[in-house]
Structure formats: structure tokens, C-alpha cells
Chains A and B, each alone.
Chain A
Amino acid sequence: DAGVIQSPRHEVTEMGQEVTLRCKLISGHNSLFWYRQTMMRGLELLIYFNNNVPIDDSGMPEDRFSAKMPNASFSTLKIQPSEPRDSAVYFCASSLRDAGAIQYFGAGTRLSVL
């Protein structure tokens, strides 16, 4: 298995533009987590899904952020409009909930909003 796959690996955009980050889960996994990592705030959970259903979105910073799971193996995190303070590394992680909750992280997307 190739593991959790994120794209793009790097994204540079201008303030006000829409940004879409993508994540492909490990085959067979049914839980999906989106994290944001910055030096100041560390690793923050933004939202997580179980069986395609959002369970906890309390970490989503504001309405500019939205996440979806259109199917069991794929998720998107969208920021519209983007702001410089959104610059961070965004990770997704997947797990097989019934197997003991180990989360496997993707390689991350480094987002820079100018």
C-alpha cells in the first residue's frame, strides 16, 4: 500500500485565492483526520470523519475552511478565501477505527499564502 497520499506537496498562492488540498486514505481505512501544523500552535486537529461523516469539526478555524469526503477513500480541505495566516503545513491522517486507532499520516501539504 502506498500509504496516505496528499496533493499538492507545496502550494503557493495569493491572498484571496481559493485553495484545495487533497487526501487519499489508505485502502480499507474508515477514519480521516485533517491537521494543521505551525511553529506557534503545534499540531492542531481541524476536523475528522468516520465512514464519510464529519464527527468533530470544532477545530475548523472559521467559515473560510470546509472539508468533504465525497467517497470512502478521498477527502478535500478547501480554504476560500485564503489569508496569509493560513500558511502552515496541512496533514491528513487515516486510521482503521476498529483496529485500535493508530493514525497514519500523509506527507503533508506546505501552504504559503502571500
Chain B
Amino acid sequence: DAGVTQSPTHLIKTRGQHVTLRCSPISGHKSVSWYQQVLGQGPQFIFQYYEKEERGRGNFPDRFSARQFPNYSSELNVNALLLGDSALYLCASSLDQAGREQYFGPGTRLTVT
């Protein structure tokens, strides 16, 4: 079975631009969560979606938004990019609403210049 997939693998953007990251969960998983991992730190929770509804939000500004589609894939959008948004963005999927056992994708490496 395919694991969690994310696209693109790498991305370079300039300050002020907008970016969209994509995630496809494991087949049968209805919950998708997004994390930001800055070098030298653990992943930081951004959003969780279950059945297309937002179930949780971390401490990130409104420039960050996400959505989940009927096929349970998800997009993370970041507007007005800042240098500090440079990070590895991870997507994880799980079976249940609470997301208690999550499986991670390879991530998208975003560099903002």
C-alpha cells in the first residue's frame, strides 16, 4: 500500500509570495494533519482535518490555511511568505477523528528567499 504522499518535494519562493502544498493520505484514512518542522526542532502542529472539517488548529497566524477534499486529500496554503516560513512541512494521516496514530509523509522542503 502507498503511504502518505506529498508534493512538491522541494520549493523555493520569495518573500510575499503564496504557496500551496499538497498531501494524499493513506487509503482509508480520513484524518489529515499538517506540521511545520524547523531545523533542529520537533514538528509543530498546524492543522488537523477530519471528514473535510477543521478539527484543530495550532498557534500559527492566519496566513496559514488548509482544506480537505472529498477524497480526503488536503492542501496547505501559506500567504505573504516570510523568511521564517522556511521549513519542512509534514503531512500525516490517521484513521480516526482524534488522529491518535499518525503516519507521516516525506514532507515538502520550503525555502523562502
Q: Do A and B bind each other?
A: no
